[in-house]
């Protein structure tokens, strides 16, 4: 399988996920400005998940950059990642509808954690398929961000039961850390290609 | 018609189907962990259908690999397949909302059966269009999985009226059988190209 | 503008339209087979519109085949067509929810009529952009199907107020006429390319 | 990152946005023509937003035409634009459900204003990435439409609190101004390529 269709399919799924989340912004009854107020936490959790899915879309692209041949393992590891990402609209909506509630904030982190693990598994599947001189292995390096993020998600999940706002702040922090441009892939690509 | 647009359209429809299924995971009232419990069967049926649509997407790709020219027959056979797949979110949602109920579990199998038949019809349409030396015919071989699956779906439909859980187990079994990588296409492609 | 992005965008919109129609198949309360009965007219109107959108997708592809340069006129004529097609899920759902009712059956025809006119306008825009030796003009020929269909839609709209079932039969008839493979484009393409 | 995937992702998101707006056309109870009347303002606001998203899709294409290398800045500026566009279905639905109400009409303008600013930011990010001889800078010229539109949106937002209909007329006016084909990009492209 060429990677073109894998990329197109993944882009399609992520584009749909990022868009259907906005359907949770239910149109309020009446046109008063007060009717917008309960939507604010929904909007904020939408914004956070929009950024997360944007990060995944971006990182997914970098990940596939050096792929030449899509094995069955890569394909299923990719679908596994898309499965966890597909739960993000649900956890986003639940967290947005229950501001500062422990379980929704914790579940939000659990899905991020599983997506992070799925991303790691996909990375390994690609590196394995590329054999000894894997260009992705060199590009990834020690990948401290990829390794640290799941730890922070796990930490945030625990924090949620003490302070949901604290957990939400940790999620925002990780998102910010990923927003900072990542030079590793770019350099490896420049060096490799 | 080139096959590029046929693939892109099919990918688009399958990506949307796989994603709108998640809308059946309705966001519960309140943030209590107990409110998640009724969602568990919905999640499980979603997972099963996610795997099925992933399998169809994967097999669809292999099927089209050797297509050079998209005839009118191939196009309509493809839309016919997409029609049955488009009913999967409905049967998934109904089965998820009625755990271990006979009719929803049976209907789930009926749609899988029709999709399986539609896949077979598409396969024949492609082989017919390729003429005598059809590379797809060689690649497909005796296709025991493709022939056995509809039989199991039919068996599961009957089982549903005795034990819906039994039917669901059969659906999961077929999905697992397809998850195992299929070497036929890969070999034929390697030999042919 | 190259036509690649125009095709991809149109494919995306049609793929989404064909898929969100299925959301009108609301999952019934309870798992009894009787609960499926009111869904039958919804399913039938879905099937009809699925075929219509499939026909438009197919014809749209043939229409763009000979386009080299996408002018601003072509782009807006294309969006105009997509606008009318985007109303098909609404009229489909309304007709499906009100079996054999005059106004929904008539409105269904009105949207088909407007889409048919929009398709014709797009055809003219492309022919105009291709100048004197337009390959599309030769391919289209006298286009009796394209000219007859709007007449039948208009006839069906009138019929709807006498017999909604009669109107629905006319819609099905036009769909069948389009399902028959159209050799004009294929020949012109074979001759031209 | 090549621009192909950026374009495909943006096209996907805009195609989904333009399509899910139609879900706000809720299917009325019963088949009477009177039941369509409350849908008229919803349809009109849908039409307006359909045109706006069509304009953005078109302008987005022109904007990316001269991009060779997608930097991290361009990618995030693009996601920023998609975020504001993703709020259009919400403001469209709210304005459609509350005809001539001040706050919904004003909020509609605010989201247009933010999208206009995001488009400008994306333009700057591309020009910056292209360095001194930026072909986009030449193509854009003084861009009076791009600079005037946000001013009109801001004006319309103020107008909304006096006359919501007046604000809506201003939105329609800007849309019309953009519908007129824009020769700048075409010329610069012809000159450059």
* ipTM for this model: 0.88
pLDDT value of residue A119 = 94
Tens digits of residue pLDDT in A57-90? 988 988 888 888 888 899 999 999 999 999 999 9
- pLDDT tops 80 at residue D143: no
Q: Which of D8, D86, D102 sits opposite A22 (nearest CB)?
A: D86
Split at pLDDT 50, 70, 90, the class of A191 is: very low
Contact at 8 Å (CB) between D3 and D78? Answer: no
On whether any CB of chain B is under 8 Å from the CB of C157, the answer is no
Contact C18 B86 (CB under 8 A): yes
pLDDT value of residue D146 = 78
CA distance B148 to A152: 47
CA distance C126 to C71: 8
pLDDT value of residue D181 = 61
pLDDT value of residue A122 = 94
Split at pLDDT 50, 70, 90, the class of C3 is: confident
CA dist A184 to A141, A191, D78, Å?
Answer: 8, 11, 22
On whether any CB of chain C is under 8 Å from the CB of D57, the answer is yes
pLDDT value of residue C89 = 96
Higher-pLDDT residue of C145, A9: A9
- pLDDT tops 70 at residue B107: yes
Percent of chain B exceeding pLDDT 70 equals: 93
pLDDT value of residue C130 = 87
Q: Which of A20, A27, A61 sits opposite D97 (nearest CB)?
A: A27
On whether any CB of chain D is under 8 Å from the CB of A59, the answer is no
Angle at D28 between CA D24 and CA D29, to 5 degrees: 145
Torsion of CA D11, D17, D23, D25, to 10 degrees: -110
- Report chain D residues whose CB lies below 8 A from the CB of A20: 16, 20
Contact C15 B9 (CB under 8 A): yes
pLDDT value of residue B181 = 61
Q: Give me the residue label for tokens 């049926």.
A: B45
Tokens at A115, concatenated:
């997506």
Using CA coordinates, name the residue in chain A closest to B47: A83
- pLDDT tops 80 at residue B46: yes
Q: Give me the residue label for tokens 């009724």.
A: B38
pLDDT value of residue D145 = 78
CA dist C156 to A183, C151, C163, Å?
Answer: 62, 9, 9
Distance from CA of B83 to the nearest CA of C (A): 8
> Best interface-test mutation with D: which of A12, A21, A22, A182 has the largest number of D CBs within 10 A?
A22
End-to-end CA distance of chain A: 22
Using CA coordinates, name the residue in chain A closest to B49: A83
Split at pLDDT 50, 70, 90, the class of B40 is: very high
pLDDT value of residue C193 = 33
Q: Which of B1, B79, B87 sits opposite C54 (nearest CB)?
A: B79
Contact at 8 Å (CB) between D15 and C13? Answer: yes
- pLDDT tops 70 at residue C186: no
pLDDT value of residue A183 = 54
pLDDT value of residue A192 = 35
> Best interface-test mutation with D: which of A31, A40, A56 has the largest number of D CBs within 10 A?
A31
Tens digits of residue pLDDT in B51-81? 999 999 988 988 888 888 888 899 999 999 9
CA distance A43 to B62: 41
Across C76-105, average pLDDT:
94
Contact D31 C87 (CB under 8 A): no
- pLDDT tops 50 at residue D126: yes
Alpha helices in chain C (DSSP H): 3-20, 39-65, 72-86, 88-97, 102-130, 135-140, 144-160, 164-179, 183-192
Across A34-55, average pLDDT:
94
pLDDT value of residue A193 = 32
Three-state secondary structure call for residue A27: coil
Split at pLDDT 50, 70, 90, the class of B148 is: confident
Contact B19 A20 (CB under 8 A): yes
The secondary structure of B14-55 as a DSSP string is HHHHHHHGGGGSPPPSSS-GGGGTTHHHHHHHHHHHHHHHHH
Percent of chain C exceeding pLDDT 90 equals: 61
- pLDDT tops 90 at residue A187: no
pTM: 0.91
Using CA coordinates, name the residue in chain B closest to C63: B1
> At a CB cut-off of 8 Å and minimum separation 6, what does A152 contact?
A170, A173, A174
Contact at 8 Å (CB) between A172 and A45? Answer: no
pLDDT value of residue D5 = 85
Q: Give me the residue label for tokens 């078109």.
A: D58
State chain C's mean pLDDT as an integer. Answer: 88
Three-state secondary structure call for residue D143: coil
Tens digits of residue pLDDT in D29-61? 888 999 999 899 999 999 999 999 999 998 898
Chain-centre distance of CA B22, in angstroms? 17
Split at pLDDT 50, 70, 90, the class of D112 is: very high
- Report chain C residues whose CB lies below 8 A from the CB of D31: 94, 97-98, 101-104
Split at pLDDT 50, 70, 90, the class of D1 is: low
Tens digits of residue pLDDT in C122-152? 999 998 888 888 888 887 777 777 788 889 9
State chain D's mean pLDDT as an integer. Answer: 88
Using CA coordinates, name the residue in chain C closest to D25: C90
The secondary structure of D116-157 as a DSSP string is HHHHHHHHHHHHHHH-TT-HHHHHHTT-HHHHHHHHHHHHHH
- pLDDT tops 60 at residue D161: yes
State chain B's mean pLDDT as an integer. Answer: 88
- pLDDT tops 90 at residue B165: yes
Contact C73 D181 (CB under 8 A): yes
Least confident of A75-89, A127-141, B144-158, D84-98: A127-141
CA distance D122 to D116: 10
CA distance D29 to C49: 21
Split at pLDDT 50, 70, 90, the class of C68 is: confident
Across A168-174, average pLDDT:
94
**Closest C-alpha to C108, from C94, C125, C118, C98:** C94
- Report chain D residues whose CB lies below 8 A from the CB of A11: 5, 8-9, 12
CA distance D54 to A13: 22
pLDDT value of residue A132 = 80
Split at pLDDT 50, 70, 90, the class of A181 is: low
Tokens at B46, concatenated:
């979603």
- Residues 171-190, chain A, touching D (beta carbon < 8 A): 179, 181-182
Across D7-12, average pLDDT:
92
């Amino acid at each position: 399988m060429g990677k073109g269709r894998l990329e197109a399919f993944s882009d399609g799924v992520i584009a749909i996920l990022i868009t259907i989340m906005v359907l949770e912004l239910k149109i309020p009854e009446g046109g008063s400005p007060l009717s917008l107020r309960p939507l604010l936490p929904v909007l904020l959790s939408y914004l956070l998940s929009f950024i997360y899915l944007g990060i995944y879309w971006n990182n997914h692209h970098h990940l596939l950059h050096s792929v030449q041949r899509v094995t069955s393992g890569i394909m299923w590891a990719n679908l596994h990642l898309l499965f966890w990402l597909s739960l993000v609209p649900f956890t986003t909506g639940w967290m947005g509808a229950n501001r500062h509630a422990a379980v929704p904030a914790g579940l939000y982190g659990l899905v991020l954690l599983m997506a992070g693990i799925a991303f790691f598994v996909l990375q390994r599947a690609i590196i394995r398929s590329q054999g000894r001189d894997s260009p992705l292995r060199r590009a990834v390096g020690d990948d401290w961000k990829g390794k640290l993020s799941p730890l922070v998600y796990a930490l945030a999940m625990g924090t949620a039961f003490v302070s949901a706002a604290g957990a939400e702040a940790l999620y925002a922090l990780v998102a910010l850390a990923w927003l900072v441009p990542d030079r590793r892939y770019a350099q490896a690509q420049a060096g490799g290609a």
